[in-house]
Structure 1
Amino acid sequence: MLKRLSPNTLRAVPEQYQGIYVHGTEITEPRRFVFLSGQIGVAPDGTTHASFKDQCNQAIDNVEALLVDAEMTTADILRVTYFVTDADNLASLSEVRQTRWNEGNAPAVTTLVVAALAAPDLLVEIEVTAAK
């Protein structure tokens, strides 16, 4: 069972992030964990989209495919770390998250702006921990 942690002793989560962010997650009675390697915006055919939003959506597609393979859903996500190469893309990241992963099961989230990822054309990487 998952419990989302947002005690009133901490700063309230801003309204625009309430469905996609929580201060912490607690798991009780864990059966199994899945730790996903960072997923990038590369399609199964090996192509990489040029736009940030397209790469972000593809990385999310890749995460969701791995969750399906593990017989899990996005509701089982405990923690997400986003690695973004350009701070100017943070608003787009938030928009994609609101569209794709705003199901009321907010995970713990960390977002980092990094100098680069494994290849120069990569703009975002998403790392996930899930439990069921």
Structure 2
Amino acid sequence: MVYEKIIRKNPTTMPAPVGHYTHITKIPRNAELFVTSGQIGADYDGNLPEQMNSQVKNTFTNIKTVLESEGLCNENIIKVNIWATEQIDWDFLYDEWEKLFSNEYPAMTIGYISELGLPEIKIEIEIWAAKV
């Protein structure tokens, strides 16, 4: 079977996702893959706000910017990896998430860790994308 677009599925034979993600994403053969470095909450001038939600907002801005630099959008995102050093305000993060994804959720992994590359970084998000 040949797929000409990215397919997102939640098999009915397993529990529904507990968040805004999809259990499995199928990428068509010969799709062009893109992997970002982990995006952090620094603003355009490199300043990193102290508050977690401000870092989340800036991180999503940076994700949109790096995707747009390659002509990519939310429909191209196939996998998101999130690392955080403190509790995520899920209502706030999901508000930003909805602005980016609408209802086309990618596969996702979240991990809480003790620290990231710099002590002031509270969240880092890596994006995998495919252009069909």
TM (normalized to structure 1)?
A: 0.87
2:69 aligned with 1:69: yes
Kindly indicate which of the two structures has a greater share of residues assigned to helix.
Answer: 1
- Gaps of at least 5 residues in structure 1 are none
Within a 5 Å distance, the mapping from 1:1-132 to structure 2 comes to: 1-14=5-18, 17=19, 20-86=20-86, 88-92=87-91, 94-132=93-131
Runs of 4+ residues deviating >4 angstroms: none
Note the C-alpha offset of 1:91. Answer: 2.5
Aligned residues with identical type, % of pairs: 25
Root mean square deviation, CA, Å: 1.7
- Gaps of at least 5 residues in structure 2 are none
Give SS of 2:88's match.
helix
Give SS of 1:63's match.
helix
Note the C-alpha offset of 1:92. Answer: 4.8
For residues 77 and 60 of structure 1, what CA distance do their matches in structure 2 show?
13
For residues 103 and 124 of structure 2, what CA distance do their matches in structure 1 show?
23
User: 1:101/1:128 Cα in 2 relative to 1: closer, same or farther (>3 Å)?
Assistant: same
For residues 56 and 108 of structure 1, what CA distance do their matches in structure 2 show?
19
For residues 76 and 49 of structure 1, what CA distance do their matches in structure 2 show?
29
The alignment covers a number of residue pairs equal to: 127
8 Å contact from structure 1 (residues 30, 131) kept in 2? no
Give SS of 2:104's match.
coil
